[in-house]
Amino acid sequence: MSLSTVMMNDMATKVLVVDDSAADRNLVRLSLSAASQRYNLDCAERLSEGLEKLEMGRPDVVLLDLNLPDSQGTDTVKRVAHKAPDVPILVLTGSDDDRLALEAVRTGAQDYIVKGQMDSNALTRAMHHAIERHQVIATLRESRQKQLDFKDKFLSHVSHELRSPLACIHQFAEVMLDGLAGPLTAKEREYLQSVLRNAGQLNNLINDLLDAASANVGKLTIEPARVDTQEVIGHLVLMLGTKAKTRGVSLTTTIGAQIPAVQADRRRLVQIFVNLVENALKFTDAGGEINLRASISEQDPRFVQFTVADTGKGINPQNLDLIFDRLYQEQNAVSNRQGLGLGLAISKELVEQHGGRIWVESELGKGSVFTFTVPQFSLSAIVSRVLVYEGRLQEASLVGVEMARGSREVTDEVWELTRRRSRAIVERCILPDKDLLLPSMQALGEREMIFILACTDPSGASVLEKRILGQLIAAPQITNTSIYRTFCIPLPKTVAVDRGLDEQLKWVSQEIEKLILKTSGL
């Protein structure tokens, strides 16, 4: 009901009083009958009764005593607000507890009125203010949501509008390069490759723009899994080495032999590195060097620390605080290609999403060192949430789901989607507070294993196993491209009681890791 209909028309305002004192209820009744407007009064003595009445019909306002036989303090407000979020609450309070009343307002009540000071005017005014305030907040929330929705739609629209012509440029350049429009001269081929390369760059810029916009509405998402640190840096050198070489800059790596895996979103980790290296390339002259380094963080050994160090121009000390800001551009770039000034801001957001941090040290004329941290992959840290309850290790089973490409004709895109969708289905089958989807240990190419650590005995695990298989087979669109198999393994329970919990947990996670590696055939 909108504010104007409550205030303007002749309809009686519906009021629900929840108060265990008959005297207080009468006081409200008297105050309202003296008012010029019409009120329709309903009463409840206990919170349970009040909640039942809220279930039956929506009053325009609830007058709520905080200390009821079945509920005390701000809890009373929370329970009413939870039951009827669209009904304003006016708290009735004694003269001695305005501290509690203020807290109630913070918890979700619109206003309070002291019973001893209640007369017809004060009560009706407070009630209408409560209704009005509630309405204003609801309207604000709604318009904020509308803005966010609009922004989403706008982004999706812009993304499409920008990409379509770009896709066209890309397709025709490819069509010509493949000789579909007749044979090409060497020059024509070179120019077309330049068109293609720049179209690719434009596509990356659009991606950056969309990433930055999503970060702004808190929608930049990561999907962390176990990532092999050595492998990912090797991949980066392959990916960026040629580009560095054409600029006359050497790309080197320093990686400790015992570098552990990290818990990260591989695609995003690569994105952070690419941003940092491309940034370094912009400020480093030919003959310079860019070094990628991975080591265990000295400040916090639970993290792996990555650095990208260049021998470039360095950053002016007074700008060090600004460079992670959106749209910031450092002036003395070597190349004339400036980019959008979003790369570092996006990188910062992504590092923070991983739970790490990023910073820079630099000296003018000597170069810059960008450092960021990402949590080490630790199975025991992940499984402890599920395994440890009341300081004890729980009985547990490992349930595995194996999927494989059903036929050769399944493309990589379809396979990737099948994996994602299957994971999502498996995720729906587990209880998040009891069971846990273990991060994938390594990509298996044509196969995928999903492991679930379930806090249950072997018979419970076999129920879970059957449920998952049933859901996967019943799911439309994915069964024709993949083959599923499930299995469950009871975990060994032979943990010595005299060891400490941490020790036991470490032992169990090592056992789990061994089992996973063995079962995956790695």
Choose the binding region for another protein from 77-85, 137-145, 159-167, 349-357 (rule: CB under 8 A).
159-167
User: At 61, is the secondary structure helix, strand, or coil?
Assistant: strand
List the x/- string, 380-409, binding to another protein by CB under 8 A.
Answer: ---------------------------x-x
Q: Is residue 295 part of the contact set for another protein (CB under 8 A)? A: no
If we measure between CA atoms, which residue out of 250, 497, 248 comes closest to residue 391? 497
Q: How far is the CB of 254 from another protein (least distance, A)?
A: 36
Residue spans of alpha helices (H) in 92-251: 98-107, 120-177, 186-216, 229-246
Q: How far is the CB of 375 from another protein (least distance, A)?
A: 24
Q: How far is CA 97 from the centre of its chain?
A: 41
Contacts with another protein: how many residues (CB under 8 A)?
A: 31
Q: Is residue 160 part of the contact set for another protein (CB under 8 A)? A: yes
Q: Is residue 129 part of the contact set for another protein (CB under 8 A)? A: no
If we measure between CA atoms, which residue out of 485, 482, 473, 472 comes closest to residue 411? 482
Determine contact, residues 436/385, Cβ cutoff 8 Å: yes
CB atoms within 10 A of CB 153: 10
DSSP code for 441: -
| Beta carbon nearer to another protein, 165 or 432 | 165
Question: Residue from 164, 185, 299, 318 that binds another protein (CB under 8 A)?
Answer: 164
Question: Residue from 2, 121, 143, 156 that binds another protein (CB under 8 A)?
Answer: 156
Q: Is residue 170 part of the contact set for another protein (CB under 8 A)? A: yes
Q: In the numeric block, which tokens belong to residue 252?
A: 């080197």
Q: How far is the CB of 162 from another protein (least distance, A)?
A: 8
Q: In the numeric block, which tokens belong to residue 395?
A: 């009985």
Choose the binding region for another protein from 93-101, 182-190, 332-340, 417-425 (rule: CB under 8 A).
417-425
Long-range contacts of 239-242, Cβ-Cβ distance < 8 Å, separation of 24 or more: 239/270, 239/274, 240/274, 240/277, 240/278
| Beta carbon nearer to another protein, 175 or 364 | 175
Q: Is residue 423 part of the contact set for another protein (CB under 8 A)? A: no
Q: Is residue 278 part of the contact set for another protein (CB under 8 A)? A: no
Q: How far is the CB of 477 from another protein (least distance, A)?
A: 5
Question: Residue from 122, 137, 148, 181 that binds another protein (CB under 8 A)?
Answer: 181
Alpha-carbon span 370 to 345, nearest angstrom: 13
Determine contact, residues 474/461, Cβ cutoff 8 Å: no
Q: In the numeric block, which tokens belong to residue 309?
A: 């160090």
Give me the phi and psi of 315, to 5 degrees please: -115, 140
DSSP code for 261: P
Q: Is residue 183 part of the contact set for another protein (CB under 8 A)? A: no
Cα Rg for the chain, rounded, in angstroms?
Answer: 32
Determine contact, residues 235/277, Cβ cutoff 8 Å: no
| Beta carbon nearer to another protein, 134 or 266 | 266
Q: Is residue 412 part of the contact set for another protein (CB under 8 A)? A: yes
User: At 51, is the secondary structure helix, strand, or coil?
Assistant: helix
Question: Residue from 121, 143, 145, 171 that binds another protein (CB under 8 A)?
Answer: 171
Q: Is residue 267 part of the contact set for another protein (CB under 8 A)? A: no
| Beta carbon nearer to another protein, 393 or 429 | 429
| Beta carbon nearer to another protein, 320 or 410 | 410
Q: Which amino acid is at 73?
A: G
Q: How far is CA 56 from the centre of its chain?
A: 37
Question: Residue from 10, 96, 178, 433 that binds another protein (CB under 8 A)?
Answer: 178
Alpha-carbon span 90 to 101, nearest angstrom: 10
Determine contact, residues 382/439, Cβ cutoff 8 Å: yes
Q: How far is the CB of 164 from another protein (least distance, A)?
A: 6
Alpha-carbon separation of residue 226 from 245, 261, 304, 377, 507 (angstroms): 31, 6, 13, 6, 19
Question: Residue from 174, 352, 395, 513 that binds another protein (CB under 8 A)?
Answer: 174
Question: Residue from 114, 239, 417, 437 that binds another protein (CB under 8 A)?
Answer: 417
Strand partners, 193: none
List the x/- string, 461-500, binding to another protein by CB under 8 A.
Answer: ---------------xxx----------------------
Choose the binding region for another protein from 94-102, 162-170, 224-232, 366-374 (rule: CB under 8 A).
162-170
CA dihedral (212, 218, 224, 230) positive or negative: positive
Residues 194-233 touching another protein, rule: CB under 8 A, are 203
If we measure between CA atoms, which residue out of 509, 500, 490 comes closest to residue 441? 509
| Beta carbon nearer to another protein, 302 or 421 | 421
Q: Is residue 420 part of the contact set for another protein (CB under 8 A)? A: yes
Q: How far is the CB of 475 from another protein (least distance, A)?
A: 9
| Beta carbon nearer to another protein, 413 or 498 | 413
Q: Is residue 414 part of the contact set for another protein (CB under 8 A)? A: yes
Q: How far is the CB of 156 from another protein (least distance, A)?
A: 6
Binding region for another protein (CB under 8 A) = 156, 159-160, 163-164, 166-168, 170-172, 174-175, 178, 180-181, 203, 407, 409-414, 417, 420-421, 424, 476-478
